[in-house]
Amino acid sequence: MTTTATTLKGQPLDKAALESLLRRRLFYTPSFEIYGGVSGLYDYGPPGCALQANIIDLWRKHFILEEDMLEVDCTVLTPHDVLKTSGHVDKFADWMCKDPKNGEILRADHFVEDVLESRLKGDKEARGQKVEEKEEDPKKKKKKSKGHEAVKLDDAVVQEYEEVLAQIDNYNGEQLGELIKKYDLRNPATGEQPSPPVAFNLMFQTSIGPSSNLPGYLRPETAQGQFLNFAKLLEFNTGQMPFASASIGKSYRNEISPRAGLLRVREFLMAEIEHFVDPEGHKKHSRFHEVEDIELELLDRHTQLSGKTTTKRMTIGQAVKDGLVDNETLGYFLARIHLFLKKIGIDQSKIRFRQHMANEMAHYACDCWDAELLTSGGWVECVGCADRSAYDLSVHAKKTGAPLIVRQRLDEPKVIEEWEVEIEKKKFGPFYKKDGKTIEAAILATSQEERGKLAKDLEETGKAVINVPSVGDGKVEVSKDLLAIKWQKRVENIREYTPNVIEPSFGIGRILYSLMEHNYWTRASEGGDEARGVLSFPPAVAPTKVLIVPLSSHKDFTPAVRKLSQKLRSAGISSRVDDSSASIGKRYSRNDELGTPFGVTVDFQTVKDATITLRERDSTRQVRAEEDKIIEAIRALVEGTKTWQDIESELPLFEGQQEVEVAVR
Amino acid sequence: MTTTATTLKGQPLDKAALESLLRRRLFYTPSFEIYGGVSGLYDYGPPGCALQANIIDLWRKHFILEEDMLEVDCTVLTPHDVLKTSGHVDKFADWMCKDPKNGEILRADHFVEDVLESRLKGDKEARGQKVEEKEEDPKKKKKKSKGHEAVKLDDAVVQEYEEVLAQIDNYNGEQLGELIKKYDLRNPATGEQPSPPVAFNLMFQTSIGPSSNLPGYLRPETAQGQFLNFAKLLEFNTGQMPFASASIGKSYRNEISPRAGLLRVREFLMAEIEHFVDPEGHKKHSRFHEVEDIELELLDRHTQLSGKTTTKRMTIGQAVKDGLVDNETLGYFLARIHLFLKKIGIDQSKIRFRQHMANEMAHYACDCWDAELLTSGGWVECVGCADRSAYDLSVHAKKTGAPLIVRQRLDEPKVIEEWEVEIEKKKFGPFYKKDGKTIEAAILATSQEERGKLAKDLEETGKAVINVPSVGDGKVEVSKDLLAIKWQKRVENIREYTPNVIEPSFGIGRILYSLMEHNYWTRASEGGDEARGVLSFPPAVAPTKVLIVPLSSHKDFTPAVRKLSQKLRSAGISSRVDDSSASIGKRYSRNDELGTPFGVTVDFQTVKDATITLRERDSTRQVRAEEDKIIEAIRALVEGTKTWQDIESELPLFEGQQEVEVAVR
């Protein structure tokens, strides 16, 4: 496994150079920059937008179409009651503390992490060891402009700090407060110890309608809309289980102090699946056999709690068999997530699956594995895969009375024998008057065991004593002319159950950023003067597939360029024309930065014999052939049915243009 | 022109039946329904979601790809300052008034419209004329459960009311208040006259970050993000003008009392284009000739102000020539909008373009035409096409100092000769001391004409008198050793200008709803018992293209169904299998309601000879052929390269299955 961020070619990653490229080429840009910007908000420019659309398109095909999932589009605005019931109003919070001197607001876990890591670095320096600087860790709340002091620590202290850091996500606010006191952690900006952590709810609040009486929030996840529509979706699916719904849309989290670029933002695109499954039968999955041999890097919770971060590589089949991953459905989705990340071009050596520790888990989850990707900001959670059990459907059903259940016709009717209560309503009410309802409820609430005893009393003594704490002395006598308890047999043809939910949840922006890092590299220019950036996106996700480069902006080339452009559009292949006055070499190198996998040149030869050259981004090698053959080659390359090697073996290599390119640089 | 809502086949539209179908088939559903719902918020289920995705896909191809627009994705969260500058904080409001008795909040224009229309209906009834009831007009704030009284009005009053209604969108709050008093308009629910209208801002407010010191809003349009990124987009476009940016995303308006289904909602998907154009040269458009012969129905502002709503049908070329539509770029986009609406299946007889009246226009617009679609809720604005002039770029540039301008290299340098001021700084400051800066500013602010006079005075008398109101008696003498004014020549190679913006802005939800109404019709079932609903979407936008129907759920059919499903997926054609136990007729009729254009049946013959039947939704006719031929036919039908008539002439008709279908009904 790789352990530090590198380029695609294994070079150390120069993050500043990459970010400069990404902003220059408008992959993304801070929102409202001319107004000074707002931290945690970013806009995507044309290439970022196209990259995002292509990732979403592949996601839809890989998950929704492949498994006939039911896609829904629910509102972001969500009334208070829904998120109160789901637990988000009370529990969806981070811990924040305040510097008593300058009023700075700090996210508690990031603060503890920062200071301890800084001390460990100081220790390494004092011991004369090499210190690796991560630039802008997504979990860090500020750049350590103050740096760290070279102070040697006891070996035992070093080990203690490392153990704390390995389980930093597992502490609650009180525990973080204790760590701050225990290790006397101080804000480097002021030298002060911050105040004890308090919970800060991460939801953006607003008010719906003109009379301000309907408080609401921007959803923190797309899931709730899917749960609330469960009964309708089940009916749409003609009652068949299991099934999944899916949703692609924006969600919002009011991060305390986001300063990690696209890795921690306040508004983000999510793609979420809610797979509804019968909790009986160990959550088997009918297609698990298709993925069971796929190998994953797994970091389980026990390893982390023991203060380590070493992963185990094993097949998902083995992991489920060993009980490391709880069930087939969870395992199936971990493998499918892995395949998706591979398909879009994530570096295979930079993926691991990390299990959440108990305190770290969201309030609704009973198990959760994150797909983490290695970036310059360390290992970053990009996909969560949680087993939410029956939590959400149960709480909403309880609150609203809506039947969020599955009614399953049983193949073999089930015979049930049990004690049943019969109340003689006509006499019961008039006899007990105002206490009637309370006493009746107490009787109906009795257990089978209690009913057995009551039945015996009624039969033997003609009366029974019921415990009703709120009536009289708490004991109420009921005679057998008012109440009967009988041993009854009945046959059930229907089984009712609340499904469990397995939820793969994708942070598209984080995946997109990681993809850009994983596909970035630099190559020496032929003049040798400077390294030029390349983004080697797979053709399927590349923002634009083809750059069309006329030799010059001379009008002789216009008809050929227009025709080519039109033909590519009909073939469903996105292209852009660059007829600027820059040299061909410059124009190609601009498009290497944009990640455009193919380039075609229209030159004087084209005007004569309708042949064009095709250049491949990564090798910079070229072939030349008649226009339609080149278009066919591009189509095959984009659809993934042929490789560049195939094309080189089919079409004649071209080297003339290459020389021109060198010459004009 | 059609004037009332009908089905695709010209039947009177039974809106209740259509809505019942749309909800039953989960095209859309009220959000949070199990919590009682929130007015103005709706979720899309699987078919609505797919329909929306297909409309967006066609939009992207028709506009963005066709014209190389620069797509961006900006945040919904927007800080207060941006929307203060844009004018939305002060002016983006509707007028609301309150019933003094029951506290009901009414939208003033809708209230006036409701009461006047109700009186006009009462008048018609009293005159014994037929009254057409529109069910749930989108501009109505409540259903008139109280109905209207049959009271005859004077002819002059009727005319006055009709004139008010024709320009209802043109009144401000004060004027609406006057109308309420003048005509003594009362809330039918209480018999009270509501309070005078007050402005209610339509933006949802929230707070960004943990310290509540950064107020923000959910954007009411996607436009602002595009304007703020103008300089970066221009650079990305290598400085070339004109160009357009585009954005597809959600926007939010806190409607006062939305009760018109998908036609008036608080959260909605928009697709907006900002086309930046040089204001010099009459905003010509290089592709205008491609559309100039397209005919549109136009309703200009003069007609409306004269109290009428009759449209003029003319080519867009003629409309621009006559000055009815201000310029080619605006005209070009009106025609392109028309073509887009036609492509997705909007009824051509139910589109008109209506020009905004002066008071109706948004604060930023200098001209605006709406594409309105005729629905059961009357004519509904679905696309706005505004000329925002240089308003937005200018106000943001002024507020932030950012250069939101185009620097155009002039082909011929411009020679400028004019009076220029030279101040002898070393002496000037010490001489005038504290007043120096003020006097200098006054000198620099002088006009060319004034400078000419001052130059003459300096030359003739050795001094000049400057008007500086805030210094001494307002007149300051400046001698020629402190100030020189010279006639200078300079050459400019660059022209700087702020582009104008033409903005086509699409409300996707309203278009989607209108599309459902325009494509809905009913046909008698073959048993003749009841009318069955059909949604005749064009194949390109239909949610699912193919329904696969095995004769039964027998396992013999499974391999053929799976293979077919796989082949369609590879061909990029979305399909669904319905292997439920319902009869084939029932399953087809379910899919007619879902708007699925094609159905294939897998039967015993398929297992023998691999032939399948293909059914067309609108004619219910079928052909039968070998699987690959049928798939090829479907592909051609979906891509629009062949019609059903073509297919019928190529492949053998099939009538056997039809009989089975009738039999099982």
Q: What is the pLDDT of residue B319?
A: 95
Q: Looking at this protein, which amino acid is placed at residue B106?
A: L
Give per-residue pLDDT as tens, A457-510.
Answer: 999 999 999 988 888 888 888 998 899 999 999 898 999 999 999 999 999 999
The residue whose two tokens read 């698990």 is A288
- Is the distance from CB of A486 to CB of A420 less than 8 angstroms? yes
**Cα–Cα distance for residue pair A206/A191, rounded to 1 Å:** 37
Cβ pair B43:A211 closer than 8 A: no
Asked whether the beta carbons of A90 and A221 are under 8 A apart, the reply is no
In the three-class reduction of DSSP (H, G, I as helix; E, B as strand; rest coil), residue B397 is classed as helix
Residue B520 has pLDDT above 50, yes or no: yes
Query: Which tokens is A256 given?
Result: 């305390």
Chain A residues with CB-CB distance to B204 below 8 A: 77, 206-208
Among the partner-chain residues A210, A254, A266, the one whose CB lies closest to the CB of B96 is A210
Contact (Cβ atoms closer than 8 angstroms) between residue B464 and residue B458: yes
- Of A322, A326, A300, A321, the closest CA to residue A311 belongs to A300
Q: Is B172 helix (H, G, I), strand (E, B) or coil?
A: coil
For residues A288 and A328, the answer to whether their CB atoms sit within 8 Å is yes
Are residues B396 and A46, on separate chains, in Cβ contact within 8 Å?
A: no
B662 membership: H or E segment, kind and range: helix B656-664
Amino acid present at B425: K
Angle between helices B155-166 and B108-126 (to 10 degrees): 150
Residue A72 has its nearest CB partner, among B49, B78, B232, at B49
Q: What's the DSSP call for residue B192?
A: B
Residues of B with CB below 8 A from A105's CB? 210-211
A461 Cβ contact list (under 8 Å, min separation 6): none
Mutate to test the interface with B, among A66, A97, A206 (most CBs of B within 10 A): A206
**Under a CB-based contact definition with an 8 Å cutoff, are residues A392 and A521 in contact?**
no
Residue in chain B nearest A50 by alpha carbon: B71
pLDDT of residue B231: 97
A33 touches chain B (CB under 8 A): yes
Going by pLDDT thresholds of 50, 70 and 90, the confidence category of residue B661 is very low
Contact list, B25 vs chain A (CB under 8 Å)? 236
Q: Identify the pLDDT of residue B662.
A: 39
The answer to whether A596 and A578 have CB atoms below 8 angstroms apart is no
In 3D space, the residue among A12, A184, A169, A205 whose CA is nearest the CA of residue A94 turns out to be: A169
User: In this predicted structure, what is the pLDDT of residue B529?
Assistant: 63
| pLDDT (mean) for B272-278 | 97
**Cα B285 from Cα B513, distance rounded (Å):** 32
Q: Which amino acid is at B321?
A: K
Question: Confidence class of residue B434 from pLDDT cuts 50, 70 and 90?
Answer: confident
Q: If chain A, 665 residues long, is cut into consecutive pieces of 10 residues, what is the mean pLDDT of each piece? A: 77 90 96 94 97 96 92 97 93 89 88 91 85 49 54 89 85 91 92 91 92 88 96 93 96 88 94 96 92 96 86 95 93 97 95 89 83 93 94 92 92 89 89 87 88 92 88 88 90 92 97 97 75 93 95 85 90 89 88 95 88 94 94 93 94 69 37
Query: What distance in Å separates the CA atoms of residue B504 and residue B565, rounded to the nearest whole number?
Result: 39
- C-alpha span between A528 and A530 (Å, rounded): 6
Supply the mean pLDDT for chain B: 89
What is the number of helices (H) and of strands (E) in chain B? 23, 29
For tokens 């052929």, what's the residue? B625
- The answer to whether A373 and A346 are in contact (CB under 8 A) is yes
For residues A350 and A1, give the distance between their C-alpha atoms in angstroms, rounded to a whole number: 7
B56 and chain A in contact, CB less than 8 A: no
d(CA A179, CA A109): 10
pLDDT range class, residue B414, cuts 50, 70, 90:
confident
3-state secondary structure B1-26: CCCCCECCCCCECCHHHHHHHHHHCC
Q: Which of A25, A232, A254 sits opposite B208 (nearest CB)?
A: A254
Q: Say what the pLDDT of residue B136 is.
A: 43
Nearest to A253 by CA among A209, A205, A208, A199: A205
Average pLDDT score over residue span B496-504: 95
Which is it for strands B42-44 and B70-71: parallel, antiparallel or unpaired? unpaired
Contact criterion met (CB below 8 Å) for A8 and A521: yes
| Pair of tokens at residue A604 | 């004087």
Beta strands in A376-473 (DSSP E): 378-389, 406-423, 463-467
Quote the pTM value.
0.86
Q: Are A339 and A62 in contact (CB under 8 A)?
A: yes
User: Strand runs (DSSP E) across A61-102, as ranges?
Assistant: 70-71, 77-79, 93-98
Query: What chain A residue is nearest to B74 in terms of C-alpha separation?
Result: A43
**Chain position carrying tokens 């500086």:** B468
Which tokens hold the place of A284? Answer: 């088997």
Measured CA to CA, the distance from residue A303 to residue A443 in angstroms comes to: 51
Of the candidates A303, A392, A317, A406, which has an alpha carbon nearest to the alpha carbon of residue A356?
A303
B308-339 CB burial, b ≥16 within 10 A, e <16:
eeebeebbbbbbbeeebbbbbbbbbbbbbbbe
Interface of B with A in 241-300 (CB under 8 A): 250, 252, 254, 256-257, 266-267
Alpha carbons within 13 A on the beta-carbon side of A210: 20
Length of chain B measured in residues: 665
pLDDT number for residue B363? 76
- List CB contacts (< 8 A) between B209 and chain A: 39, 254, 256-257
Alpha-carbon distance A105 to B383, whole Å? 45
- Distance between CA atoms of A228 and A85, rounded to whole angstroms? 11
Whether A73 sits inside 8 A of B26 (CB atoms) is no
Torsion angles phi and psi, residue B108, rounded to 5:
-55, -50
What are the structure tokens assigned to A634, written together? 């591009």
Q: Which of A67, A74, A245, A562 to mutate to test the interface with B (most CBs of B within 10 A)?
A: A74
CA distance B250 to B270: 6
A473 close to A444: Cβ distance less than 8 angstroms: no
Q: How confident is the model at residue B132 (pLDDT cuts 50, 70, 90)?
A: low
Interface contact flag, A45 B76, Cβ < 8 Å: no
B644: helix, strand or coil? helix
State residue A384 phi and psi, 5-degree precision: -105, 145
- B374 with B510: CB under 8 angstroms? no
Per-residue model confidence as pLDDT tens digits over B295-316? 999 999 988 888 888 899 999 9
Query: Which residue of A23, A27, A32 to mutate against B (max B Cβ within 10 Å)?
Result: A32
